[in-house]
């Protein structure tokens, strides 16, 4: 069961934080903000914590506090060496703060040996240390680690919080990470890709596929497919499209994530959709 962050923050105010937390939901930026908030509450030296003014608060806000450790994937994974190096750090005396905070970002990318090493640390946690696993894909975190951690769920920010980016937020199906990537890539460009894709599927003109996908890098393809899935989900909900399309998109995302030739995988997807015939209903 997942707690909400207010309860976790309250335990931190009382200096009774859990040793191992799993932050999931919302976007990477929101979860990172919550990690920082926890670090501030636990390390601020003033009475009303966090004050935002004391040396500890200032160091945390500028990302320079020596007792805050962040471990992220190198290339695609978080390997055992990274966890062992963290382990060497955290069994030393705390340098200046009251609490050591270790963030394992994108925790679903821990390799099995790395996760097991982390599990060992969690079994004999060093004093005043909080390890936070953060993930946009909590189901992907190794189960033994998942079951040990106190899960904390962050709901997506509501549309009102998005102001100028509200279109990206809608196009991203209220997933903040996807919305930010759409914005970076260009909302209009993403919409154009989706429109062209639908045109190809409807007209059955397979030869146009190459032209559409040739300029796309792998990450662009994934971004396009995730946005396409959001748009199609809406169409399926309105009964305008068969759910079979969604399943095929999901499969293609999985195939491309595993490094298979991405353009080929997209061409196969188009062929399947054309063979479904238009909206795939009936």
List residues binding Zn ion (CB under 5 A). 44, 46, 50-51, 54, 57
CB of 46 to Zn ion, least distance (A): 5
Of 67 and 248, CB closest to Zn ion: 67
CB of 8 to Zn ion, least distance (A): 19
CB of 50 to Zn ion, least distance (A): 5
Of 9 and 148, CB closest to Zn ion: 9
CB of 39 to Zn ion, least distance (A): 11
CB of 62 to Zn ion, least distance (A): 13
List all residues 6 or more positions away from 14 whose beta carbon is below 8 Å from its beta carbon.
none
Question: Which string of DSSP letters, residue by residue, matches 94-163?
Answer: PSSSSSEEEEEETGGGB-HHHHHHHHHHHHSPPTTEEEEEEES-GGGS-HHHHHHSEEEEEPPPPGGGGG
Of 96 and 123, CB closest to Zn ion: 96
Burial 6-32 (b: 16+ CB within 10 A, else e): eebbebbeeeebbbbbbbbbbbbebbb
Of 57 and 114, CB closest to Zn ion: 57
Residues 43 and 173 sit within 8 Å (Cβ to Cβ): no
CB of 99 to Zn ion, least distance (A): 13
- For residue 255, count other CB atoms closer than 10 A to its CB: 17
Of 58 and 240, CB closest to Zn ion: 58
Of 40 and 168, CB closest to Zn ion: 40
Return the structure tokens found at 6: 């207010």
Return the structure tokens found at 186: 């260009």
CB of 68 to Zn ion, least distance (A): 14
Residues 231 and 222 sit within 8 Å (Cβ to Cβ): no
Rounded to whole angstroms, the Cα distance separating 132 from 145 reads 11
CB of 45 to Zn ion, least distance (A): 6
Of 47 and 217, CB closest to Zn ion: 47
Residues 270 and 197 sit within 8 Å (Cβ to Cβ): yes
Helices 176-185 and 28-43 cross at an angle (nearest 10°) of 120
Of 56 and 187, CB closest to Zn ion: 56
């Amino acid at each position: 069961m997942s707690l909400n962050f207010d309860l976790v923050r309250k335990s931190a105010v009382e200096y009774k934080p859990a040793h191992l937390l799993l932050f999931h939901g919302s976007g990477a930026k929101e979860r990172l903000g919550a990690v920082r908030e926890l670090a501030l509450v636990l390390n601020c030296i003033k009475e009303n914590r966090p004050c935002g003014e004391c040396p500890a608060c200032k160091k945390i806000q500028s990302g320079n506090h020596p007792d805050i450790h962040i471990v992220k994937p190198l290339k695609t994974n978080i390997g055992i060496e990274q966890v062992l190096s963290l382990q060497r750090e955290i069994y030393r005396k705390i340098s200046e703060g009251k609490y050591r905070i270790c963030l394992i970002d994108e925790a679903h990318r821990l390799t099995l040996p790395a996760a097991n090493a982390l599990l060992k640390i969690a079994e004999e946690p060093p004093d005043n240390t909080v390890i936070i696993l953060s993930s946009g894909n909590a189901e992907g975190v190794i189960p033994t680690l998942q079951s040990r951690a106190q899960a904390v769920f962050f709901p997506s920010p509501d549309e009102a919080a998005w102001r100028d980016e509200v279109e990206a937020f809608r196009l991203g199906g209220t997933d903040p990470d996807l919305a930010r990537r759409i914005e970076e890539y260009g909302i209009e460009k993403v919409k154009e890709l989706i429109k062209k894709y639908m045109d190809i599927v409807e007209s059955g003109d397979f030869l146009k596929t190459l032209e559409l996908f040739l300029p796309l890098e792998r990450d662009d393809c994934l971004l396009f497919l995730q946005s396409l899935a959001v748009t199609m989900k809406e169409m399926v909900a309105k009964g305008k499209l068969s759910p079979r399309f969604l399943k095929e998109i999901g499969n293609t995302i999985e195939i491309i994530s595993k490094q298979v030739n991405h353009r080929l995988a997209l061409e196969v997807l188009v062929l399947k959709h054309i063979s479904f015939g238009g909206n795939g209903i009936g």
